[in-house]
Homo-oligomer: A and B are copies of this chain.
Amino acid sequence: MLESWIARLEQFAPLSGEDKLELGRLLSEPRRVHAGEDIVREGEAPTHIHIIVSGIACCYKVLPDGGRQIIALHFPSHACDIHHGILSRVDHAIGALRPTQVAYIPHENMLDLLERSPRIAKALWRSTLNDNAILREWLVNIGRREGYGRVAHILYEVYLRLKAVGQADNHSFEFPLTQTELADALGLTPVHVSRVISRLRAESLIVLRRRAVTIIDPEGLKAVAQFSPGYLQMADQGPEGNKSNTLRG
């Protein structure tokens, strides 16, 4: 399972055999984290980078009034905090949304490896650029779409991202977020998310049952989401979405 992270990195830039061996050597055995538990707490000085092996994690901030905003979702084979190596304290937390396994690498080893292998540095750099592009699109999603399109958009994005790591078949995938968590990610309330999902169901765009999503009408869903897949840097067709990414060779 650890290899899937390395495989994903290779989609961003070619790695040598030695690169892959080194990464494999540095990666710890995965640690189990309970649902709701933090992997990195807000304000602390992180010492490792983390890679999601299984489960789902998220990056979030909590406001003084208790409101929570989820800033990013991290799926298996994602590194969630590459940028932490250089910060003395982080302005956000990383938490597990479900029971999750995370592998990790100490910052000093990672920084050392980055200096020795420009290929790994390039792949990681591009993978963080990809994360940033998603973050920008989330801002657009929350800022300029109303609830109906917002939920449609995140569902289609998650579908493409899970498909890219082999966790979506056809147009079905596991999506084990509660509606409260979805609301925290979308800047809505849980009640409103529930209503919007009812409407997406009523319009025969999706089926959502037991935390599993099936997209019945992909074109319809993309239309209400005003979805343009360019930001994901991966194709929106076929079972191997990542083949034609547009990052420079």
Residues of B within 8 A of A119 (CB): none
Given contacts A69-B139, A143-B186, A133 and B91 within 8 Å (CB-CB): yes
Residue interface bits A100-135, CB-to-B below 8 A is 1, else 0: 000000000000000000000010011001001101
- Identify the closest chain B residue to A223 (Cβ): B64
A18 at the interface (CB under 8 A from B): no
One of A19-27, A155-163, A195-203, A226-234 contacting the partner: A226-234
Report the interface size for chain A: residues with CB under 8 A from the other chain.
42
- Identify the closest chain B residue to A185 (Cβ): B143
| Structural contact, B142 and A143, CB atoms closer than 8 A | yes
Chain B nearest CB from A157 CB (Å) reads 13
| Structural contact, A248 and B88, CB atoms closer than 8 A | yes
Residues of B within 8 A of A64 (CB): 226, 228
